[in-house]
Amino acid sequence: MPTQGELDTLRFFHYYPNVPLAIVSLVIYILLSVALLVRVYITKSRNFLYILGITGLMESIGYIFRLLSAKNTTLGTYIGMSLFLLLPPNALALVNYKATGEMIRLSGVPPSRFWLKPKFVTWFFFSSDVFAFLLQGSGGGLQAMNAEMAAMGKTITLVGLIVQLFFFASFALITIHVHRSPKYQYTVLGQANPKRNLSICLYITLILLYIRSIYRIAEYAGGYDGVIATTEWAFYVFDTLIIAIAFVVYYVLFIGKYLPKRNEEELPAKSTRVNSSSSSLDINHVE
């Protein structure tokens, strides 16, 4: 006969969480987080890249809560797991927003549209992400209350996810424009084409974040007793694995390689060659 703790687990999850999978996920996320934090520190990359490792550590806390909930689920451990697995990946988008803003700023191109200003790209999408974050967080909190408030909380969380998806798409259009436009060029020591490589990293991670957001929307739309929410493999494929792959991409196509280091003099965007009667001189200038 199942214990009360096991009955509570079934009531919250509608299945018994797989403990080995949760342990493996926890270890992988900790390793990826430490690897990213160490790389940012050793390479003296931009400080905003520390967000990557910190996000992974926050996700790790979510898997600790999942382990605690595996056989004896309480409302506290379930809400802790839900919030720490739902909210931290939002911060990865902030890294992408800042990276695109830096590409625009380093190119030195005067913005022809307000939405191409570096500060707008960074802070507008940062604000939109915070707004979506607050919606999702408040929705998650309401779900810890009575049934009526839980239904409202689910709706608020769902709206937050949809809002985030919309801004992801808007940001992707700006990133594509910056990547395709030849006037947005900048130089980084030791990198032949930093804008192209950085853009590839942003494209891949944005696609992964988009897939994960679509999964979360489908999960909340179907309800806690829906097919998606009650299918554990879907969570590990479309959330755990997707975000882990994103961390691997961030490490392999490390954004810090394609931006100037901390306190490093930024190299000008273009160079022109001026011929004199005696020799040819390279004169660098910024647009």
pLDDT at residue 147 in the model: 65
What's the CA gap between 157 and 159, in Å, rounded? 5
What's the CA gap between 201 and 251, in Å, rounded? 10
The two three-digit tokens of residue 122, written as one number: 């960074």
pLDDT band, residue 272 (cuts 50/70/90): very low
Q: Could you count the other beta carbons within 10 Å of the beta carbon of residue 106?
A: 23
Contact 147, 153 (CB under 8 A): no
What is the distance of C-alpha 103 from the center of its chain?
A: 18
Strand-pairing partners, residue 267, are: 187
Q: Average of pLDDT values for 127-146?
A: 77
Number of H helices, E strands in the chain: 10, 2
What's the CA gap between 131 and 121, in Å, rounded? 15
* C-alpha to C-alpha distances, 267 to 57, 229, 236, nearest whole angstrom: 34, 50, 43
Confidence (pTM) = 0.85
Q: Average of pLDDT values for 174-185?
A: 92
Give the structural domain span for 98.
4-285
Q: Tell me which of 24-28, 46-50, 267-271, 280-284 is least confident.
A: 280-284
pLDDT at residue 233 in the model: 96
3-state secondary structure of 191: strand
**DSSP secondary structure of 115-147:** GGSHHHHHHHHHHHHHHHHHHHHHHHHHTTS-H
φ/ψ of 83, rounded to 5, equals -70, -40
Higher pLDDT, 285 or 159: 159
* pLDDT tens, position by position, 181-211: 999 999 898 888 999 999 999 999 999 999 9
The two three-digit tokens of residue 62, written as one number: 């979510």
Report the CATH number at residue 54: 1.20.1070
pLDDT band, residue 1 (cuts 50/70/90): low
pLDDT band, residue 225 (cuts 50/70/90): confident
* pLDDT tens, position by position, 33-44: 999 999 999 999
pLDDT at residue 222 in the model: 83
* Overall number of domains in the chain: 1
Q: Could you count the other beta carbons within 10 Å of the beta carbon of residue 96?
A: 24
- E strand spans, the chain: 270-275, 280-285
pLDDT band, residue 285 (cuts 50/70/90): very low
Q: Average of pLDDT values for 218-245?
A: 92
What's the CA gap between 70 and 19, in Å, rounded? 7
Q: Average of pLDDT values for 254-263?
A: 90
Q: Which residues of 13-24 are buried (b: 16+ CB within 10 A; e: fewer)?
A: beeebbeebbee
pLDDT at residue 267 in the model: 47
